[in-house]
Amino acid sequence: MTYPTYRLSTDVSERLAAAGLAPLDVESVIARALSEDLDGGVDVTTMATVPRSQRSRLVFASRASGVVAGVPVAAAVFAMVGGDDVRIEWESADGERVTPGSRVLSVVGSTHALLRAERPALNLLGHLSGIATFTARWVDAISGTRAAIRDTRKTTPGLRALEKFAVRCGGGLNHRMSLADAALVKDNHVIAAGGVVQAFTQVRAMHPDIPVEVEVDSLDQLDDVVDAGADLVLLDNFTVDQMREAVQRVDRRVRLEASGGLTLDAAAEVAATGVDYLAVGALTHSAPVLDIGADLETVG
């Protein structure tokens, strides 16, 4: 199914850009979602039950406590389906904490257009809000420490920019967006290069202007890469005691990131060791969807 190319309203486009999202990239995600939903056909239920002239208001409201993310993304779905015929009523902002009953977004327009756009918009809004909500739980768990929560590249293919945006809405920080904007020397690179120091120095020599993080799995490796000039080290599957020792050894000369098997229950203890970051892949690969409902109110 090919959708007409609607120009997003200035308001929606500006809100996407302000969130660090490229409007054209968001449109591409939405176009695929809409095409998938109709699969080359029509909404047979709506066509049979709803008069073409009917207009309605669709109200999105949270059914659980959480943090909202993706409000302008959901609005963009309706703009692409309904064009200038839809009117967006902004109810909540990205990053805002909501409780059951909180209105998130309302859209007025043709009932046919609203119902075609409802599920893709709800899927994106609930997914992104779930990531923001889960991230906020981790951020709250380490409140009062010097550590920050960071995501990983364990994202849904095609949705990385949106999912990492949701992490920011929840108070987390983004690690690299791609393999090109930062280097992370991991165990397989170490094996291929013949050693952790060799791997680090080769990356630094070829790419002197990009951040280089080095993964180590022992305190001896930590000492080696710090002496070699690394300024960011990932502590892979270190115990809390080992993390504490690592913090003492580097004495703030480098930044340290804890990774591997971290749990929400243990987050505060890990953060209290003095590490700078907790790397949490679960933020994007295991966050439950925030329960958000969409209820229709006819207006004419």
Q: CATH classification of 143-285, choosing from 3.40.50.300, 3.50.50.60, 3.30.70.100, 3.20.20.70?
A: 3.20.20.70
Distances in Å between the alpha carbon of 288 and those of 66, 150, 254, 278? 11, 18, 34, 20
Predicted pLDDT at 36: 94
| Same-fold call for 10-139+288-298 versus 143-285 | no
Q: Which amino acid is at 253?
A: R
Q: Is the pTM of this model over 0.85?
A: yes
154 classed as catalytic: yes
What are the pLDDT digits (tens) for 61-118?
999 999 999 999 999 999 999 998 999 999 999 999 999 999 999 999 999 999 999 9
Express as a percent the part of the chain with pLDDT over 70. Answer: 97
CA geometry: angle 245, 246, 247, nearest 5 deg = 90
Predicted pLDDT at 10: 86
164 classed as catalytic: no
Sorted by where each begins, the domain ranges of the chain are 10-139+288-298, 143-285
Beta strands in the chain (DSSP E): 55-62, 66-67, 87-90, 97-98, 103-110, 148-150, 183-185, 212-216, 232-236, 255-259, 277-279, 292-298
27 classed as catalytic: no
Predicted pLDDT at 1: 44
Predicted pLDDT at 5: 54
Q: What is the mean pLDDT of the chain?
A: 95
> From the candidates 154, 160, 244, 255, which is the catalytic residue?
154
What are the pLDDT digits (tens) for 163-200?
999 999 999 999 999 999 999 999 999 999 999 999 99
Assigned CATH topology for domain 10-139+288-298 = Aldehyde Oxidoreductase; domain 3 (3.90.1170)
> From the candidates 55, 160, 186, 244, which is the catalytic residue?
186
Q: Does residue 213 carry a pLDDT above 90?
A: yes
Strand partners, 110: 55
> From the candidates 119, 137, 153, 255, which is the catalytic residue?
119
